[in-house]
Chains A and B, each alone.
Chain A
């Protein structure tokens, strides 16, 4: 494995019965990179991500995450990654603080560290006023940002974000991307799926998945050049039309 690569996938495949959800995809993600994983609904983004984070066994192919094999070393992978799922997944019936404490706890952070982290995080997100409110009562945008911060609690090497900005307003999306940049600048590798094409422009490199296959993979700039279009949305449209 190239020392600079934190994710390597080779012919990674997942089948559900006869249906091939992910069809022999190969790619690498470099350390500190923001890697955009694009594709329409049902393209296979979530399925591919689940294989990488060790909760779904690949049907075929190879993959290494943070230097560990997805087949044999899923437990080691788990210690090195953060994950924000497509479904909002904090506990609605726990307060902001309780959620942070709980997730800090299951990642094995010390009590002292959890206290420090939660103070810092609540301050950064501007949640001081609502820290003792149930998360269920917060607006979606706040929840998403909190969820992202929670996935970074244990300072993972790589963070996997599955459509983190789904359903939130453009301003919040903007703020969210600022958080992603900040994490990346601190050395965290970001693997993010989205189907907002404007967000693709913020990524260092993007891959575009169509029906389980990766059809294009490069920097946004190169892709636009290659397809001779002005923005990523047009790149995508050209690919999707085949």
Chain B
């Protein structure tokens, strides 16, 4: 155990004294997240909204006043026909249209239920989402005020419709991808480089001649990266929550566990890469070509898997990142638990065991 601690201390010296690894470890994740953070702002201020009011009664007036009184929105256009919606969006100034159904007030009194449609321009999906959230909040407040004096609750039902980008392909979709790439990069590339570095320098030989066991060497080398990857994962999640207001719907604990699993998968890949490469250069190239490219191209991070040609769809199944992205999207965006994700989790576990087994075998052969 004492040997092990000494070993880990040494690994941290290597990491903290090497500018390149420091940059990959800390510069890159923060730079990537910041890039997204600045490219997409969430604050909305005096956003132009148009109103299509089919009832023009007291309640709709009140709601319209409430909304235009808030500092987030200014209502400056009233349209009369559904067909105007598209024209008005095309001009680009108006970002959302509120569509009150006919007989809004009457329905609210009679049925205790009336519908308002919030149509947003989702070319900027993040803003669209924020707008609909804010409008919803105002409606909810208004509804609370109504229900204070009445025993049977009134219900205003907001229906959100996003136009132009209904899938909401947005920063929310990118955060899981960025997180996957960074974890993979740090875990697989950094460990494979740091192990091959010892081979290249000849220190690996000295370690193998010492009484320290090969398995201890490997665990000692990957341990710091497990730790640093977890730190990275936390930084990414925290930054995305605070910069992107990214909702994490599901359990943070599960997210953490799944991330650790994926980190271990990547480390196993890193060890495997180090067993087949003699130099740091090779390890880096294999990591970039063999891991990063497939992650970027085939994991569904940028290009939806469903629209790939069939052979690529099949290949995408052997990419661990694909499964991890499904898992974290599920947890972060849909808020689902393990009961929905056990299949993906099992696949990752299986892959991890396979890679560990393979690298242990390869590592042994190398010693002969």
Contact = CB atoms under 8 A, between A and B. Distances in A.
Interface footprint category on B: 20 to 34
A105 B211 contact: no
A134 B17 CA distance: 10
Nearest to B209: A83
Interface in B1-32: 2-3, 6-7, 9-10, 13-14, 17-18
A91 B209 contact: no
A108 B14 contact: no
Interface in A80-119: 81, 83, 85-94, 98, 101-103, 105-108, 111
Interface stretch (A1-9, A51-59, A121-129, A232-240): A51-59
Contacts of A102: 6-7, 9-10
Contacts of B2: 105, 108, 111
Given A79-B211, A88-B202, A89-B205, A94 B13 contact: yes
B209 A56 contact: no
A75 interface: yes
A76 to B, nearest CB: 9
A173 interface: no
B208 interface: yes
A106 B212 contact: yes
A95 to B, nearest CB: 9
Interface string B331-368: 00000000000000000000000000000000000011
A106 B208 contact: no
B293 to A, nearest CB: 30
Given A55-B367, A79-B211, A93-B18, A106 B202 contact: no
Given A98-B10, A105-B7, A55 B18 contact: no
Most buried by A among B7, B17, B211, B367: B211
A91 B2 CA distance: 20
A14 B206 CA distance: 21
A78 interface: yes
B196 to A, nearest CB: 14
Contacts of B203: 89-91
A73 to B, nearest CB: 12
Interface in B85-118: none
A78 B209 contact: yes
Nearest to B206: A89
Given A55-B367, A88-B202, A89-B203, A106 B3 contact: yes
Interface of B is mostly: helix
A85 B202 CA distance: 8
Interface in A35-54: 53-54
Given A55-B209, A106-B207, A91 B10 contact: yes
A105 B3 contact: yes
Given A91-B10, A102-B10, A55 B202 contact: no
Interface residues of A, number: 30
A131 to B, nearest CB: 15
A88 B201 CA distance: 8
A50 to B, nearest CB: 8
A93 B3 contact: no
A217 to B, nearest CB: 25
Contact of A81 (B14, B17, B205, B209): B209
Interface in B195-246: 201-203, 205-212
A89 B367 contact: no
B18 to A, nearest CB: 7
A149 B171 CA distance: 57
B25 to A, nearest CB: 16
A85 B206 contact: yes
A91 B6 CA distance: 14
Contacts of B13: 91, 93-94, 98
A88 B203 CA distance: 8
A197 to B, nearest CB: 25
Contact of B202 (A78, A89, A93, A103): A89
B209 A107 contact: no
Nearest to B16: A93
Contacts of B207: 106
B7 A106 contact: yes
A78 B205 CA distance: 12
18 contacts: A55-B208, A55-B209, A78-B209, A86-B202, A87-B205, A89-B202, A93-B14, A94-B14, A98-B10, A105-B3, A105-B6, A106-B3, A106-B207, A106-B211, A107-B210, A108-B2, A108-B3, A111-B2
Interface of B: 2-3, 6-7, 9-10, 13-14, 17-18, 201-203, 205-212, 367-368
Interface of A: 53-57, 75, 78-79, 81, 83, 85-94, 98, 101-103, 105-108, 111, 134
